[in-house]
Amino acid sequence: MRMGLLLGSLLVVTAAWAQDPSTEPPLDEVVVNGEFPGPGMWKVTRPDDADAHVLWIIGDPWWLPKRLKWKSKDIEATVLASQEILADSGINVTPDEKVGFFRGVTLVPAALKARHNPDEARLADVLPPDVYARWLVQKKLYLGRESGVETWRPLFAADKLRKAAVKDLQIRTSSAVWDVVRPLARQNKIPVTTPLLKFTFKRSELRARIKEFSRESLADLECFKTTVALTEALGNADIEQARARAWATGDLAALSALPELPSPYLPCVMAVMSSEVARDLVPADAADRVLALWIEAAGNSLATNRSTFAVVPFAKLTRSGGYLDALRGKGYLVEAPQ
């Protein structure tokens, strides 16, 4: 979900100015040997469609090992046969006027202050003891003796921990699917559609908004807990190797048999979205509207194109109430990968 300059910059600036993690040797990375046949695609069609239009959907996982190799022949053929590529929907929040470089630089101190807990509180003060104990274990593994992060809000501390764990465990930070799809779309001039809900805010209010955010308490405990649970899970190399193999071979039965990987995406986004600043900019039903926007775009693509290829996050695709359930609810026929 694109939070725009105001909300997104709080995370981006934090990451850019964070201290380097400990130089202790990294943990064993997740390595998946061999080349696998490639993930499966869901097939979506309209009942009694004489034109036989089809929407192919691939679920894009977030946490794949860098060394995973999978054959993309089927994916490439499907992309090249399609008239449109449909990306995930999201929210775009932008200023009503362009924010120049020098003005952006002057906002850095305010943004950096916004990552700290109000009233100089420490993580030990704002987290339940059991959660803080788990944090200390993960912090030692991935951040070493760094102490400055202890004054950060849980939202920002969680973001720093996740990035450090992903780096140490040699997990991809880019999409394995889009790395294949994007060059094909560019070379063959296949249009890429990204459905967006768009909102604007006044550039003149940006500094005041950041200061307001820095004083506000956030409902970010669930974001923090889920991120700690994620780094704990990613450290289990055997399970993550099995998960990567299952995705790369389209083995849905094997995927469903594995423990569900914690996903901090939604609770962390909601931690920001629940702030007073965000509520002034984005309506409370934005998440529902984003899902509906994608389903509408999928329907339009099915009505217009002989073939459409869609790439969406695997978790959003398959979870209860996610894209597949919503498509079925609209009466579309959904076939799982074979």
Q: Is residue 41 scored above 80 in pLDDT?
A: yes
- Report the range of poorest mean pLDDT among 3-7, 93-97, 267-271, 313-317: 3-7
Q: How far apart are CA 63 and CA 255, in angstroms?
A: 14
Q: Is residue 233 scored above 50 in pLDDT?
A: yes
* Contact by Cβ (8 Å): 154, 220: yes
pLDDT in tens, 313-331: 988 898 889 999 999 999 9
- DSSP 8-state assignment for residue 116: B
Q: How far apart are CA 262 and CA 225, in angstroms?
A: 10
Burial tier of 131 (Cβ tally within 10 Å: 0-12, 13-18, 19+): middle
Residue 4 in tokens: 């725009």
Burial tier of 13 (Cβ tally within 10 Å: 0-12, 13-18, 19+): buried
* Contact by Cβ (8 Å): 230, 162: yes
* Angle 79-170-87 from CA coordinates, rounded to 5°: 25
Which sequence spans correspond to the domains of the chain?
Answer: 4-22+40-335
What is the separation, in whole angstroms, between the first and last Cα of the chain?
Answer: 31
Q: Could you tell me which of 314, 8, 312, 12 has the C-alpha nearest to residue 178?
A: 312
pLDDT in tens, 150-183: 999 898 999 999 999 999 999 988 888 998 999 9
Average pLDDT, the chain: 81
User: Average pLDDT of 245-255?
Assistant: 87
Q: How far apart are CA 333 and CA 52, in angstroms?
A: 12
Q: Could you tell me which of 180, 225, 163, 202 has the C-alpha nearest to residue 6?
A: 202
Confidence (pTM)? 0.76
Q: Which stretches does DSSP call E strand in the chain?
A: 35-36, 42-45, 54-60, 69-70, 84-86, 90-95, 192-193, 196-201, 307-313, 333-335
pLDDT in tens, 90-142: 877 676 556 554 444 444 444 555 788 888 899 999 999 999 999 999 999 99
Count Cβ atoms below 10 Å from residue 293 Cβ, excluding itself: 17
Q: How far apart are CA 8 and CA 99, in angstroms?
A: 14
User: Average pLDDT of 11-32?
Assistant: 37
In Å, what is the CA distance from 170 to each residue of 27, 64, 68, 183, 300?
Answer: 9, 9, 11, 24, 39
